């Protein structure tokens, strides 16, 4: 993918991407980033602006100003031409930024010391803590993602985050368990976010209690399923049944 410098020259945009570096607590070398990298770098500031402005161009421009990024360059990272428009592009970048932060904070090697249920709980809890100060941005994002034209992309984003969590947790399943695990975790995470945005308890205690109950329920289900499938029993065979239909016994 071309770097920002290459795209900026094509768009006759300024290459002076940083401003007031002496007063900025954090700076980024935007000039050497790809557009995807730039979008993710801007995402936390976009979310902070979305609390007041919503997921729109206003939030993007405010984030670019806060980060010291040329607004013309910021617009290149979010063309807003997809099905969900600019709002879904901004939200997708924010989710990707949380994914990256989670991977950096909890690599597989660190998680390996925990039991499987603790690995999942820890990762989901990290994601909740990462957005605790911008819960209004989460609320606005969920409203955008629930719109009919955005449902497909929202499911894809949820699946991607669930996949990352399971991979960090050491999951290597390649059979149907690969899909059921991710579908269940995506469901748990989305349900927990719904509780999260309405939770006024101290430290979001009700949300974490809800998460714990959901994980406990899934663990019990997985244990029961393993016991059932692990029993030495003659299970009905679909292939044998269809064969008997075609070649009935005489």
Write the pLDDT tens digit of every residue in 155-207: 999 999 999 999 999 999 888 889 999 999 999 999 999 999 999 999 999 99
CA distances from residue 58 to 43, 45, 49, 51 in whole angstroms, order as listed: 13, 12, 8, 11
- Indicate the residue among 50, 79, 108 that finishes a domain: 79
Residue 188 CA to residue 10 CA, distance in Å, equals 44
Q: Say if residues 173 and 181 touch (Cβ distance below 8 Å).
A: yes
Which pLDDT score, from 0 to 100, does residue 219 have? 74
Residue 158 CA to residue 161 CA, distance in Å, equals 5
Query: Do 10 and 125 have their domain in common?
Result: no
Q: How many domains does the chain have?
A: 2
Which pLDDT score, from 0 to 100, does residue 136 have? 96
239 in a structural domain:
no
Query: Do 49 and 131 have their domain in common?
Result: no
Residue 102 CA to residue 54 CA, distance in Å, equals 24
Q: Which residue has the tokens 């040329």?
A: 70
pTM: 0.78
197 in a structural domain:
yes
State the average pLDDT for the chain. Answer: 84
Query: Do 23 and 70 have their domain in common?
Result: yes
Q: Say if residues 240 and 248 touch (Cβ distance below 8 Å).
A: no
Query: Do 41 and 147 have their domain in common?
Result: no
pLDDT tens, residue by residue, 30-44 = 878 999 999 999 999
Query: Do 74 and 114 have their domain in common?
Result: no
Query: Do 70 and 170 have their domain in common?
Result: no
Query: Do 196 and 102 have their domain in common?
Result: yes
Query: Do 6 and 38 have their domain in common?
Result: yes
Query: Do 141 and 52 have their domain in common?
Result: no
What range does the domain containing 118 cover? 88-231
38 in a structural domain:
yes
Q: Residue 220 — pLDDT band, cuts 50, 70, 90?
A: confident
Task: Identify which of 111, 110, 164, 102 has the alpha carbon closest to the alpha carbon of residue 129.
Answer: 102
Which residues have C-beta within 8 Å of that of residue 167, sequence separation ≥ 6?
Answer: 108
Instruction: Specify the DSSP class assigned to residue 65.
Output: H
Which residues have C-beta within 8 Å of that of residue 242, sequence separation ≥ 6?
Answer: none
247 in a structural domain:
no
Query: Do 18 and 37 have their domain in common?
Result: yes
21 compared with 12, residue with greater pLDDT: 12
Q: Say if residues 127 and 118 touch (Cβ distance below 8 Å).
A: no
pLDDT tens, residue by residue, 79-132 = 998 888 999 999 999 999 999 999 999 999 999 999 999 999 999 999 999 999
249 in a structural domain:
no
């Amino acid at each position: 993918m071309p770097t920002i410098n290459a795209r900026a020259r094509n768009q006759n945009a300024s290459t002076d991407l940083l401003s007031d570096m002496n007063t900025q607590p954090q700076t980024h070398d935007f000039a050497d980033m790809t557009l995807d990298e730039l979008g993710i770098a801007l995402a936390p500031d976009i979310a902070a602006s979305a609390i007041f402005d919503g997921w729109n161009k206003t939030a993007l421009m405010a984030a670019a100003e806060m980060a010291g990024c040329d607004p013309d360059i910021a617009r290149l990272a979010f063309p807003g031409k997809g099905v969900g428009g600019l709002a879904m592009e901004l939200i997708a970048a924010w989710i990707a930024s949380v994914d990256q932060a989670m991977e950096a904070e909890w690599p597989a090697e660190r998680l390996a010391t925990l039991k499987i249920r603790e690995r999942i709980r820890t990762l989901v809890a990290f994601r909740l803590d990462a957005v605790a100060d911008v819960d209004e941005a989460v609320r606005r994002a969920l409203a955008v993602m629930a719109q009919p034209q955005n449902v497909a992309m929202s499911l894809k984003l949820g699946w991607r985050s669930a996949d990352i969590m399971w991979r960090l947790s050491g999951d290597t399943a390649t059979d149907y368990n690969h899909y059921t695990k991710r579908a269940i975790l995506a469901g748990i995470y989305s349900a927990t976010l719904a509780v999260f945005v309405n939770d006024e308890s101290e430290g979001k205690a009700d949300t974490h209690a809800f998460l714990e109950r959901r994980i406990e329920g899934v663990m019990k289900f997985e244990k029961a399923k393993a016991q059932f499938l692990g029993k030495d029993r003659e299970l009905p065979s679909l292939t044998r049944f269809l064969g008997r239909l075609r070649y009935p016994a005489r």
